[in-house]
Structure 1
Amino acid sequence: MAENTFPVYTADAIVNFYRTEVLTGQEAKHFTKADLTPAPKPEAVQTLYMRVLHLLYRFRPECHSMVPLLENIQYPVYHEGATAIMSVYLRMRQFLPMCLVYDFSLNDLLAPKKQKTLTVLSAIMNFLHFRKQRMDFVLEKQAKFRADMDRLQTCIRSNREAEKKIEMLTTIPPEQQAEADELAAAVSELQATTMHECQEVNVKNDCIAEWKTNIAEKSQKLAHMKVDVSNLKEDIGKLKSQIVESPEELRTQMERMRENVKSIKNSITEADERAVELQNMVQNVTHTEAEIQQMYNLLQDLESSMNNAKQRQEMYQELTAQYEKKQKEIKNLCAEEAQLKRAQGMKLDKESKQNIRRQMKKEMKENHVEDILGQCNQIHQKREDMADKIHEISRETLQLKTKIQSLRDVCSKETEKAQALYDALSASMDDLHKRIETQIVDLKQDFIKNSTNF
């Protein structure tokens, strides 16, 4: 008991578990604690083992009694009772090493003991618990894999929608293509005209600055001339008061003064004409300034449109960056999907191989069952023949005793052969158990690697 690697449960726990998990219908209702304690009933233990084999291997209980018999065996009636027990015994010998029970014997079926039966049932119960946990774990992994596949499909759909949006934003529709070309041509023309007019405006501004400098110089000269004239008038008044002028000198001075006045008037008229020309130039300049203002407003509109274009270009760059990120995510997901597909392909290959083996086994079993049924029909016919020969068999009882002795010898030999087969099968099952443990360790390592990669 201390060497067991699994817990040995109580009889109540075992009865509750097998009634809920293994047995069904009337068998679950009639199975009680009295079937196991204080002395286990062989029929109840045998039905439990048959139901466990049916649950794990789908081997129906009625199939245990259908064992192929040799055609030359006389009196096959004597073999009918032992076939079911031997079938259950052989299959339990194959199954129980997986539950870490290696000392199962035929006596555990024919005359089971309490402690040994509880130990075997606890081992089977532990194995069923482990099987249920593994099945739940595999189902969780399948659900996660399906959720990841759905997430991958949603990411692929979102990437396709983003690609369509990028194409919609980057491509101009044919209805607006003509308008876009006209706007581009108008913008280029406006840029050319604005450059030309800006050059003309700069030239006119330079001319206006030159004219303003000339006007300022001439106004300064006029001011100096007025100051000189006023000084001369003052000097003339002073001189007139001081000097008695002669008429000839007065005439000459008056003529000079008239000439000076004419020259001054001419200069004033020229200045007025020049001022009128300058006013006209200023009006032209104001008109050009208004036109320049209009052009400036157009340029502002163009700047706003260029800003919008830049914003769209930035949006396009952001969308391209997002598209590249999505592409990288898609590549990573595709790589993960490829790994998962490989793992799934390996699993499917294994499952297909196992299914093929199972199908082959099923076909072999079906052929075997058909052979057995044919042999059973032959046996029934032989039984009918034997019913007629019962009177003759009663006369041959002495011969039967000798034959029974010989059959006992044959049975002893067959038991020896069965023991040898059992030893060989136990050795092979030990090897199989070791291989299964190594495969479980490898599968755990592969699963850890796949989980880390995933």
Structure 2
Amino acid sequence: MTENTFPVYSADAVVNFYRTEVLTGQEAKHFTKSDLTPVPKPEAVQTLYMRVLHLLYRFRPECHSMVPLLENIQNPVYHEGATAIMSVCMRMQQFLPMCLVYDFSLNDLLAPKKQKTLTILSAIMNFLHFRKQRMTIILEKQAKYRADMDRLQVYVKGSSEAMRKIKALTTIPPEQQAEADELAAALSELQVATTHESHEVNAIKESIAEWKTRIAEKTQKLAQLKVDVSNLKEEIGKLKSQIVESPEELKSQMEKMRENVKIIKNSMEETDERLVELQNLVQSVAHAEAEIQQMYNLLQDLESSMNNTKQRQDEHQELTAQYEKKQKELKNLIAEEGQLKRALGRKQDKESKVNMRRQKTRETKEQYVQQVLGDCNQIHQKREEIADKIQEISRETQQLKAKIQSLRDVCSKETEKAQAVYDTLSSSLDELHRRIDMDTMDLMQGLTKMAT
């Protein structure tokens, strides 16, 4: 017992386990501790082993007593008693090494011993516990694998639909390819023009900021000069009141003052010219901003027109579906009309044949023919009405086609969105495939470990 790699349970634990997990019905009720202790009963032990084999390998207990059909065997009735014992012994000798029991013999079935029987039953209990744990793990992995496969199918279906939508969006009809190229070229030119104008506006704004800083500096200098001139005038008035100046000094001072006044006037004129130039630049910037706003409004109008075209496309699809339904109804009406015409011809033939026999039948046939003709007239009227409706629908479809042909910029945006969706889907699919491969590898490794 010390050499065993599994625990040897008591008789009570063995009886409770086999009554709940292995045996069923009357066998579970009649199986007690006295069947194992103090001396195990061979019949109870044999039934236990048969039920274990049936639980594990689906080998029914009645199959053990079946004699193999050989040609040279004589009196097979004599072999039926020993066949069941030998079959159970052979199956248990094949099974028990999996439970780490290698010394099972025929004596353990015919004259079992208490300790040996408890050891074998404990080994089988240990194996059944391990089997139950492995079964729960495998069932969980199978459920996870099924969920992953369902998710994979959903992703594959979504990716196929996305590919179909991408193909439908990327394929441009040949009659609209030229217009799409023209619109793309016009859009590229417009983008280039807007970028050029934005660069020019930025440059003009920078120059305006520089000129504003210069004007501020000039105004500060002018204010300082005005303050200096006023201070000089005050000092001159004070000096005149205090000192009697010579005429030469007065002349030199006056000339200096005149030169200062000329310099100030020149600087004022220069600042005025700069101010006029800056005003012109501000006007040009305002004009450029107005042009940019106008272009932005044009782009907004273009976007609204694109939305309108999308709505028109949806309406066009609905109208085409209605048109197909009307065509199907028209075909059904034409088939009914042909059937009625053929029936009318048959009825007329029958009427011509019966006309020679009975006058009354002729009158009834004529009335029936008139009814059929009235139905035909009604069908013709319905056909004309449906034809008028079809013409109206065709005119509306032509108008919608004429409007749809003018707007094709939606294709480029939708293709970009679809490409982004496709990239995300492809990345998610790659990640999903990688995870599924990893799960399948783990599952195969677990299965190989279980098989070993």
Q: TM > 0.5 between the two?
A: no
Compare CA radii of gyration and give the structure with the larger one.
1
TM-score (norm 2): 0.45
TM-score (norm 1): 0.45
